[in-house]
Amino acid sequence: MKRRLLLFLPLVGFLLLAVFLYLRLSEDPSYRDSALVARNFPEFEASTLEDPDRRVDQSVLTGEVTLVNVWGEWCPACKQEMPQLLDLADRGVRMVGVNYRDTREKGREFLTEFGNPFELNIFDPEGDIGFDLGVYGAPETFLVDADGIIRYHHTGYISPADVSDTIMPEVEKWR
């Protein structure tokens, strides 16, 4: 009898595997752990989109909880999330943009057309800052605390629900 039961072992193994694989099916395959959370915002030195003569570095992000949004004129989802970013700015969140792989002209046109929630925009035409941030497609958004440490990373489009459900609570948490 005992040996008979042993014959069910492969079936049990199969069922366990099936359940495991089934549960994994419902997960979002594009989800990634960010490598940058809890690390300092990478060092950089760049001009701003607004003023080619103004040089800024990572210290512009310290002193206050700041939301850093990586965007480009060429990126459709960036246009769609602009109303949410303007909303966040209205709620008193300090916003800084990284104009990623763009030209000054197109970047400025974009802000004129879709609104400008940003205190300033860091100009990153070659995508070097983006690379150090591990950005693999815009838009991406980083929450940086007052000490310049990245606390939260949002990949892709920010929906109106994301603003109230995840972004604002995170901002409050690190204030």
Partner 1 sequence: MALNRWLIAILLLLLAGSALGAVEIREFEDPVTKQRYQDLTASMRCPLCENQAINDSDAPISGDMRERVYQLLQDGKSDTEIINHMVQRFGEYILYNPRLENRTYLLWGIPVVLVLLGILLVVWMVRARRNASATSLSTEERARLDELINRERSS
Q: Give me the residues that bind partner 1 (CB under 8 A), please.
A: 29-30, 32-36, 101, 127, 131-137
**Residue 87: partners with Cβ closer than 8 Å, 6 or more residues away:** 160, 163
Angle at 149 between CA 146 and CA 152, to 5 degrees: 100
Nearer Cβ to partner 1, position 61 or 133? Answer: 133
Nearer Cβ to partner 1, position 18 or 146? Answer: 18
Cβ 10 to partner 1 shortest distance, Å: 12
Beta pairing class for 94-100 and 120-124? parallel
Nearer Cβ to partner 1, position 34 or 47? Answer: 34
Cβ 16 to partner 1 shortest distance, Å: 12
Cβ 161 to partner 1 shortest distance, Å: 24
Q: What per-residue string of b and e applies to 128-143 under the rule 16 or more CB within 10 Å gives b? A: ebbeebebeebbbbbb
